[in-house]
């Protein structure tokens, strides 16, 4: 649709600067998220100044302080640990720089928080696990504490185990670094060899699920052990749909859409527009069978099959075409 109003004068010269301060940048999820954010920045004629802590929380905090010192017009904080991010967020609030916090608790009510519905992500994946296992069996769980989305998914997992006493977590593994999938593959191999009764793996991050899939395939267990994950990318769709793949279900948003929303919310704040303080993006359950039956091979095709993965009304910018 055509825009309903003209852009505010501040946006005319392309000089609005939005700092995107990331904790992590490698992996399919983070790459797609960035491409969405960059595409939206282009549409809105704003400069997106991107930094990454590359997994180093102190470096991310420093980058955040630098964005404050540089008087960015708005800041998006993408992931991070509360204790390292919150002191710098306070400085941004004091400097009256509008801030959007994605997947990290900013600790300041002035900031807009953006999340995927992580409880629903875990519920959808675990619903599939329960259906397939009949609600009983040994499960390998992949988790690293401290990442807000993983912590929320963990809350759902803890409740799920209480509600389903037939489900037994026999091992927990997990690592987040610049080669998460291969590190998780090594850990998963060891856990599967030590626990031959495992029939399901709950791996609620696509790098975890990819690593688990590698381990299951290498051990020749794909008929016996199924994987329930989170997130989606074109590469993930390839892994899920390849012949004999053990990755049977994932619950996901479209990461590029979430990146777009972050930039829209930041731009609205720069323009002094109202933005809901908490933006939560709902996921969809994507199954191996659904992908194969529909012949879906890319995220582009997926978003056409699941129109709810695109949410143009969340943080809609009235002066941008949609
Ligand atoms: C290390 S945290 C990884 C998660 O962040 C995003 O919320 C993605 O959904 C991913 O699973």
Same domain flag for 55 and 71? yes
Q: Which domain holds residue 73?
A: 9-116+254-282
Read off the pLDDT of residues 154-181 as tens digits, 9 standing for 90 and up.
999 999 999 999 999 999 999 999 999 9
189 and 259 in a single domain? The answer is no
Same domain, 225 and 124: yes
Cβ of residue 143 lying under 6 Å from some atom of ligand 1: no
Please indicate, yes or no, whether residues 141 and 205 belong to a single structural domain of this protein.
yes
269 with 179, same domain: the answer is: no
The verdict on 151 and 244 lying in the same domain is yes
Span 128-144, average pLDDT? 98
* 168, part of any domain: yes
| ipTM rounded to 2 decimals | 0.99
Please count the other Cβ atoms lying within 10 Å of the Cβ belonging to residue 69.
Answer: 10
Q: Is residue 174 part of a domain?
A: yes
CA 179 to chain centre: 17
Quick check: CB of 160 below 6 Å from ligand 1? no
Confidence class for position 2, pLDDT limits 50, 70, 90:
confident
Same domain, 105 and 202: no
Q: What's the CA-to-centroid distance between 179 and ligand 1, angstroms?
A: 14
Distance 305 CA to ligand 1 centre (A): 23
Does residue 205 form part of some domain? yes
Band of pLDDT at residue 322, cut at 50, 70 and 90: low
Question: Is 287 domain-assigned?
Answer: no
- pLDDT (tens digit per residue) in 14-30: 999 999 999 999 999 99
pLDDT tens per residue across span 185-220: 999 999 999 999 999 999 999 999 999 999 999 999
Any ligand 1 atom below 6 A from CB of 176: yes
Residue 62: pLDDT over 80:
yes
Residue tagged 């997947």 (tokens): 103
Q: Are 287 and 281 in contact (CB under 8 A)?
A: no
Whether 196 and 274 map to the same domain: the answer is no
Walk across the sheet containing 74-78 and list its strands: 47-52, 17-22, 74-78, 99-102, 112-116, 278-281
Q: Cα(263)–Cα(243) distance, rounded to whole angstroms?
A: 38
Q: Which residue has the tokens 């708005």?
A: 74
Predicted local distance difference test score (pLDDT) of residue 318: 94
Assess if residue 106 is contained within a domain: yes
Retrieve residue 258's tokens: 């979430």
Give yes or no: residues 245 and 122 share one domain: yes
Same domain flag for 19 and 166: no
The last residue of one of the domains, among 203, 237, 252, is 252
pLDDT tens string 237-269:
999 999 999 999 999 999 999 999 999 999 999
* DSSP line for 245-299: --EEEEEE--HHHHHHHHHHHHHHHHTT----SEEEEPPEEEEHHHHHHHT--SH
Give the percent of the chain with pLDDT over 90. 97
Atom of ligand 1 lying closest to residue 205 CA:
11
Mean per-residue pLDDT over the chain, rounded: 97
Q: Is the CB of 231 under 6 A from ligand 1?
A: yes
Domain contains 274: yes
Can you tell me the mean pLDDT for 23-43? 97
- Per-residue pLDDT tens for 91-118? 999 999 999 999 999 999 999 999 999 9
Is 298 within a domain?
A: no
77 C-alpha to center of ligand 1: Å? 14
Q: Are residues 245 and 262 in the same domain?
A: no
Q: Report pLDDT for 3.
A: 79
| Spatial separation of the C-alpha atoms in residues 84 and 87, rounded to whole Å | 7
Same domain, 54 and 142: no
Alpha carbon 201 to chain centroid distance?
19
Last residue of a domain, one of 235, 252, 269: 252
Domain contains 89: yes
Q: Dig out the tokens for 113 from the structure.
A: 């928080």
Q: Is residue 321's pLDDT more than 90?
A: no
In this structure, the strands spanning 99-102 and 74-78 are: parallel
Cα separation of 32 and 234, whole Å? 10
Number of domains, the chain: 2
Q: What CATH number corresponds to the domain at position 55?
A: 3.40.50.2300
């Amino acid at each position: 649709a055509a825009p309903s109003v003209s852009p505010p004068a501040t946006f005319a010269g392309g000089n609005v600067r939005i700092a995107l301060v990331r904790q992590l940048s490698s992996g399919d999820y983070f790459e797609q998220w960035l491409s969405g954010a960059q595409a939206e920045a282009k549409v809105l004629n704003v400069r997106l100044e991107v930094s990454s802590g590359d997994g180093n929380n102190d470096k991310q905090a420093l980058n955040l302080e630098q964005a404050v010192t540089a008087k960015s017009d708005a800041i998006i904080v993408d992931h991070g640990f509360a204790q390292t991010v919150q002191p710098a967020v306070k400085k941004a609030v004091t400097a009256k720089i509008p801030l959007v916090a994605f997947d990290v608790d900013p600790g300041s009510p002035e900031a807009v928080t953006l999340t995927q519905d992580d409880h629903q992500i875990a519920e959808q994946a675990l619903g599939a696990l329960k259906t397939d296992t009949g609600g009983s069996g040994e499960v390998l769980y992949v988790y690293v504490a401290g990442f807000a989305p993983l912590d929320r998914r963990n809350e759902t997992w803890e409740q799920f185990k209480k509600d389903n006493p037939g489900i037994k977590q026999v091992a927990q593994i997990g690592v987040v670094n610049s080669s998460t999938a291969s590190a998780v593959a090594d850990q998963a191999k060891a856990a599967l060899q030590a626990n031959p009764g495992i029939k399901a793996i709950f791996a609620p991050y696509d790098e975890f699920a990819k690593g688990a899939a590698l381990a299951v395939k290498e051990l020749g267990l794909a008929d016996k052990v199924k994987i329930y994950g989170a997130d989606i990318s074109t590469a993930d769709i390839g892994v899920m749909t390849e012949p004999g793949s053990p990755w049977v279900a994932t619950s996901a948003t479209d990461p590029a859409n979430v990146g777009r929303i972050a930039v829209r919310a930041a731009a609205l704040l720069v323009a002094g527009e109202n933005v809901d303080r908490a933006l939560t993006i709902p996921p969809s359950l994507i199954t191996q069978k659904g992908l194969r039956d529909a012949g879906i091979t890319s995220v582009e095709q997926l978003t056409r099959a699941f129109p709810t993965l695109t949410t143009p009304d969340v943080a809609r910018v009235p002066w941008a075409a949609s």
